[in-house]
Structure 1
Amino acid sequence: MGSSDFSANSSPLPLRLYSSMYEYAWTDVGAVNKIESLAQPVYDSASYMGSILYYIHDTSYSEMEVPLMGCGENSSQALSSSHGNCSQICFDSNTLYMPYNLQPCLSLGVAAMLIQSGSLVLDETEKNTETALKQYNVGNLSTWDGTSIVQNIIDCTVAACTENKIGECPSKMLSLDGLTVTADNLQTVYAGLGSFCTNIGTTVNSDIAGPGVMLSYLVQICAALLFWIIAKLLASWTRVITWPFLLCRQPPPPSFDSLLSPASHSQVPGRRKSAWLRATAIQRRLSRLRLHAATLTMLVEFQETQAFFVGAIQIATLATFKPTATTQSDSANTVTFGEAISDSQLVQTLCVNGTLPILLVQCLLQRYGMRWWYTFALVSANVILAFVVDARRNYLIADFDALWSVFVASNPVDACGGLANPQVYCDTLGTVYASISNGIYALYFTVPVLIIDFLAPSIMRLRNVDTALNTWRRTNRVFRFLEAKVWPLFLKTFWFFLEFALLLSLCFYSARLFIISLYMTEDGSLGTWGFGQLVAVMVWVPPLLKFVYLNIFGIEEGLGRRLAHDYRVVHDELPVGEGADAASGIVELDELQQGQGDWKENPYAPSDAGTLAQSLRMGSHENLIQSPPELYNPEYKRSWPPRWPKS
């Protein structure tokens, strides 16, 4: 290919240069932004080179502009407003192969070759070109040895395919081996450089996203959704779902005559209320199923398990992902900039979005009145750690210079001046893990509600508050109406939208996590099963197996065997929603077994009734007297006396 083949114009195409230096201080942005701005220069260099060749081939262009990102002796100079001397940097093997110098040096080298071949002419009178030439100390391009610059870059990239290689190079890149660069074969050079990163993928740390670890994340989400759906179906949803069907199938009363009645059967007064009562009765029977009791019983243990699981990830992230590259940090296990970015972004996603299942289960627990300070403290710790991780998101990765030093030491290439293999720049932009940490917004509106709901019962029990409320109830009719009619409806509506928003966030997170798993499976970066992967999955086996056990053998058998001999499991006959313990049950001290006091001899003595009330863990003594509990401890089960005092 001769010089006339580059341009169909009868005269050389005017070339204009302009500075594309960043307009703000990059020292104030996160490490990931800096790395992405400096990495992948091989692909960018080939792109700019292809643009130059395209402009020459296309006769519709009367001029050509080439951006210059600037030369630098180090990363600080490359990302600041200061400009290096390109005429020296591009001919020095110690600086030519630095990632931030490849693009400007290759562009200037190709431009110099085409100027000297007569395909281009530098428009030095144009203002931007004049400024760029002075800023970057380019000098006279007609005297540049552009061929040596391009040849050195080709020799470096070809050697990177065989010496300390990170991935396989395509055939187009390998075909450049032994090629002598001239203005006639620049198109071949462009095709080879453009394919350099084709086969280079990102391998995520298996401790972060191995097959077992990814499966463990998905199991957590699925289990939380399963428990939430079961609890909702057995406690409230069934009534709403079955009511329309019962309304349609309800037969007319015997006294109804369609010929004599002016209204249709569907307009008979009280029909809707009757169907709703039947649906409520069905809902009440479902809420007393063993499945419902097992689900609520397992919620606390499952909440504890996932709180420690996510907390371990959060603590490990803060401990190992640091802005400095040390042997204890994640940087020691990465071989490319892309891996460092992917690891950092993925752990941020897991640390923040991993709290979504925890918040969903906590909402369910508090809606059932199961406000336990232990689980609430665990949830609070997870939320605090999530906010800390989000606040430090720009510091959960080593800076560019630290990573560059690690790569130079681990993957040097002699043909590249002893610097790192250029393959370390590949696959750094547009990673699939970016921009999926949006779960932090769900924390902003969920956490305050949970805190208020957790503290509200304690505040309402304060003597001054309770006295004031009772006074308002007696004296203010509007307050009684708001408390009895408006407030319950408002709470139900508010909790519905809160859980719905939280559920949407969790579904979005699970879908993205599933896509990441498929992406990693397709490109082979998911890794293989090993010791650590099996351990990661087994963390969910105890609570899930216990859930199955409770459904098969019952709550009494499952929990009764775990208690001390002086405690027993008592079933509370209160319907769901009528007391803090209505959805669970009561564990009480077995005074009958202990034989303490005179209560055994005289169960109706007033002085001993207080002793019984003190033995109750939770619940109301009046409810116990009105509805005597059924004892489920088979070893100490006994019939109650025929007489029972009425309150």
Structure 2
Amino acid sequence: MASASVLQSLLTSTTLASSVPSSTASSTPLTILIRDSIEGTSDFFPFRDIAGLGSGSDDVDSGLTFKELFATSLDGNQEITLFSSGCQVDGRTDCTRACNNSSLFFSSLETFYNCAALAAAAHWTQDAKSYYVSQETERNASAIMGSGTLSEFDGRPVLRSLIACAQDSCDNDGLSKPCNRTIDRLSYDTSTPEEIFEALDEFCPELPAEVNPDIFGPGVLISYVLQVCFAASLYLLLKGFTLWVTITQDTSRRKSEPKPYRLKRSLTRIESMIWRDSGGLSRTSIAIATTLVEFQEAQCWFVFAVQIASILAIVVNSQEGTFWGEIVVNAAIAFHLSLNGILSMFLIQVCLHHEGIRNWHTFLGFFMEYLLAIVATSQKIYFKDAFALFKSQNQIEACGFNPSPRTYCAATQGIDGQSFSFFPHPLLYKMTFLILDTIAIIALVADQLAWTLRKHHLTKHVQIGSYRLGRWPRWGKQKRGLFIKIWFWRILEVAYLVINI
């Protein structure tokens, strides 16, 4: 009886052990995180996403590049991120069906990543038993699994498709960097899943971007640097000349006997040219005033060409490029140039208004460049347009006649080896554009309109009470309105000088 009871207990324990789920092989659950999309990659809006380029992140909150995210998911990481924007089949997310159809598998970046990550998850939970699929994991994955479940997902067809597509892409995609030789040696029949995952870690390359010479070629770069240097030099020359005149001339005599060397606040471009030449200071004043106006007009034409090229680079350049990262880099550079190109124009325009040099054709040219900058910074690049471009350039048969996944998963860490830190942090230019430029443009427009009201024959004598139309208000004996006006222009000038440099 005793031996029978012992045998019965052993049978019972064996039965219980066999009924325990596979979680007994591992006490660590697999973690599935669901995100909407790979931010900054599905669509690229420079004004919002450009900061991520400088930090080396082009996806979700993890701070990893897509290449690193892809490799981490394949290499048995406990936490796997999946994207609900992938695996779209008949308007709904169904990775079970999408991953078993090559034309759908490689039809988008998110689908390609989801299927590869699910194949890895199936191996690490079903075969290697490094993790187990908990109820919470299954519930999270159900958002993208569609007609199947994560615990029943068959990763073998996915691995077969991955090997075939990777090898065909490496032979025919034409990218500048060849694939790792281990990919050529892969075989579904002889290679283990670990060997496949290890080889695919290097499938997405790091490629240098070829920058569009129309927006950032050597000639444009040198011209831009000279433009900033010349604008800063003119500003310093103007302020140095004004300071020298103030120090060397007798204040009381200048008040009682106005001389032509004083740069009057009501000076216009035409008046400065016909100003009677009666001394060296007069000629220097005329030269400086004329140079400021002519340089601003020259800047209008140069910046106009740069702004048009920037808009075309952001909007049209999605029709050019060998991989997605290259298109994004060109859009980012165009964004930088469209914002930076008008900074020196703001500096000179503020100087002109501060010194009383105003004319409408120069102001309208400057204002048009500002509007073009707004247009350039509001553009967006769509991944679907770039994907259509890649598909028209080269269709890979083993990838379901889609483009090579390397064209949209390649990492771009720089421009021909140059780090993105070459540019100052984009937040600086965002704040300059949104705050400083807005304040300046409002002040410049108001000042230009006020000058027109003061000088036009129909409005120059209009007076409302004690206030004369088009003039700054004066409060008290100290004329506080004029005092605020002078210091307002001075602060704007210094701010733009610092930002330009």
Same fold (TM over 0.5): yes
SS at match of 2:81: strand
Match of 1:355 among 326, 338, 342: 342
Measured against aligned partners, the alpha-carbon deviations of 1:13-47 in whole angstroms (never above 9, x if no partner) come to: 54435351329999x98656899669975553222
Q: What are the residue-to-residue correspondences of 1:92-491 with 2, within 5 Å?
A: 92-98=101-107, 99-124=109-134, 126-133=135-142, 135-137=144-146, 139=148, 144-169=153-178, 173-180=180-187, 186-236=193-243, 288=281, 293-318=286-311, 321-322=314-315, 329-390=316-377, 392-394=378-380, 397=381, 399-425=382-408, 426-427=410-411, 432=420, 435=426, 437-438=429-430, 439-441=432-434, 442-460=436-454, 462-465=460-463, 468=466, 481-483=477-479, 486-491=480-485
What is the letter of the counterpart of residue 327 of structure 2?
A: A
Q: Which whole-Å CA distance do the structure 1 matches of 2:30 and 2:296 have between them?
A: 64
Cα gap change, 1:75 to 1:428, in 2 (>3 Å)? farther
Q: Which whole-Å CA distance do the structure 2 matches of 1:289 and 1:44 have between them?
A: 67
Q: Residue 112 of structure 1 contacts residue 142 of structure 1 at CA under 8 Å; is this kept in 2? A: yes
What is the letter of the counterpart of residue 298 of structure 1?
A: T
SS at match of 1:66: strand
- How far did residue 213 of structure 1 move? 1.6
SS at match of 1:419: coil
Measured against aligned partners, the alpha-carbon deviations of 1:431-490 in whole angstroms (never above 9, x if no partner) come to: 9378364242221011111222223344345213399369xxxxxxx956133xx44443
SS at match of 1:196: coil
SS at match of 1:393: coil
Q: Which whole-Å CA distance do the structure 1 matches of 2:231 and 2:347 have between them?
A: 8
User: Match of 1:504?
Assistant: 498
SS at match of 2:183: coil
User: Match of 1:18?
Assistant: 32
SS at match of 2:210: coil
- How many residues align? The count is 424
Q: Residue 93 of structure 1 contacts residue 417 of structure 1 at CA under 8 Å; is this kept in 2? A: yes
Cα gap change, 1:137 to 1:31, in 2 (>3 Å)? same
What is the letter of the counterpart of residue 207 of structure 1?
A: D
Instruction: Answer yes or no: is 1:46 the counterpart of 2:71.
Output: yes
Q: Residue 16 of structure 1 contacts residue 65 of structure 1 at CA under 8 Å; is this kept in 2? A: yes
SS at match of 1:361: helix
Q: Which whole-Å CA distance do the structure 2 matches of 1:150 and 1:24 have between them?
A: 23
Q: Which whole-Å CA distance do the structure 2 matches of 1:176 and 1:364 have between them?
A: 62
SS at match of 2:184: coil
SS at match of 1:169: coil
What is the letter of the counterpart of residue 495 of structure 2?
A: A
Cα gap change, 1:194 to 1:162, in 2 (>3 Å)? same
User: Match of 1:492?
Assistant: 486
Cα gap change, 1:427 to 1:127, in 2 (>3 Å)? closer
SS at match of 1:296: helix
Q: Which whole-Å CA distance do the structure 2 matches of 1:23 and 1:423 have between them?
A: 18
- How far did residue 410 of structure 1 move? 0.7
Measured against aligned partners, the alpha-carbon deviations of 1:44-80 in whole angstroms (never above 9, x if no partner) come to: 3222123x25xxxxxxxxxx44332247455995xxx
Measured against aligned partners, the alpha-carbon deviations of 1:260-305 in whole angstroms (never above 9, x if no partner) come to: xxxxxxxxxxxxx99xxxxxxxx99x98286665333222111111
Q: Residue 66 of structure 2 contacts residue 411 of structure 2 at CA under 8 Å; is this kept in 1? A: no
RMSD of the TM alignment (CA)?
A: 4.2
Cα gap change, 1:380 to 1:344, in 2 (>3 Å)? same
Cα gap change, 1:480 to 1:199, in 2 (>3 Å)? closer
Cα gap change, 1:211 to 1:155, in 2 (>3 Å)? farther
Q: Residue 17 of structure 1 contacts residue 68 of structure 1 at CA under 8 Å; is this kept in 2? A: no
Q: Which whole-Å CA distance do the structure 2 matches of 1:487 and 1:41 have between them?
A: 56
User: Match of 1:542?
Assistant: none
Cα gap change, 1:141 to 1:168, in 2 (>3 Å)? same
Q: Which whole-Å CA distance do the structure 2 matches of 1:299 and 1:136 have between them?
A: 65
Measured against aligned partners, the alpha-carbon deviations of 1:101-123 in whole angstroms (never above 9, x if no partner) come to: 12221122122223343423533
- How far did residue 186 of structure 1 move? 4.8
SS at match of 2:207: coil
Q: Residue 396 of structure 2 contacts residue 402 of structure 2 at CA under 8 Å; is this kept in 1? A: yes
Q: Which whole-Å CA distance do the structure 1 matches of 2:139 and 2:451 have between them?
A: 74
Cα gap change, 1:191 to 1:496, in 2 (>3 Å)? farther
**Structure 1 stretch displaced more, 181-190 or 452-461:** 181-190
What is the letter of the counterpart of residue 129 of structure 2?
A: S
Q: Which whole-Å CA distance do the structure 1 matches of 2:68 and 2:38 have between them?
A: 24
Structure with the larger RCO, 1 or 2 (CA within 8 Å, 6+ apart) = 2
- How far did residue 309 of structure 1 move? 1.7
Q: Residue 215 of structure 2 contacts residue 310 of structure 2 at CA under 8 Å; is this kept in 1? A: no
Q: Residue 314 of structure 1 contacts residue 389 of structure 1 at CA under 8 Å; is this kept in 2? A: yes
Cα gap change, 1:347 to 1:505, in 2 (>3 Å)? same
User: Match of 2:4?
Assistant: none
- How far did residue 197 of structure 1 move? 4.0
Q: Which whole-Å CA distance do the structure 1 matches of 2:375 and 2:28 have between them?
A: 54
Q: Residue 156 of structure 1 contacts residue 415 of structure 1 at CA under 8 Å; is this kept in 2? A: yes
User: Match of 1:254?
Assistant: none
User: Match of 2:54?
Assistant: none
- How far did residue 375 of structure 1 move? 0.7
What is the letter of the counterpart of residue 401 of structure 1?
A: K
Cα gap change, 1:293 to 1:183, in 2 (>3 Å)? farther
Q: Residue 169 of structure 1 contacts residue 196 of structure 1 at CA under 8 Å; is this kept in 2? A: no
Measured against aligned partners, the alpha-carbon deviations of 1:517-555 in whole angstroms (never above 9, x if no partner) come to: xxxxxxxxxxxxxxxxxxxxxxxxxxxxxxxxxxxxxxx
Cα gap change, 1:108 to 1:29, in 2 (>3 Å)? closer
SS at match of 1:132: helix
Cα gap change, 1:31 to 1:368, in 2 (>3 Å)? closer
Q: Which whole-Å CA distance do the structure 2 matches of 1:151 and 1:105 have between them?
A: 12
Name the TM-score, length of structure 1 as normaliser. Answer: 0.57
Cα gap change, 1:151 to 1:494, in 2 (>3 Å)? same
Q: Residue 45 of structure 1 contacts residue 102 of structure 1 at CA under 8 Å; is this kept in 2? A: no
SS at match of 2:439: helix
- How far did residue 315 of structure 1 move? 3.7
Cα gap change, 1:40 to 1:90, in 2 (>3 Å)? farther
Measured against aligned partners, the alpha-carbon deviations of 1:206-258 in whole angstroms (never above 9, x if no partner) come to: 11111112222222111111111111112127868x99xxxxxxxxxxxxxxx
What is the letter of the counterpart of residue 353 of structure 1?
A: N
Q: Which whole-Å CA distance do the structure 2 matches of 1:229 and 1:76 have between them?
A: 65
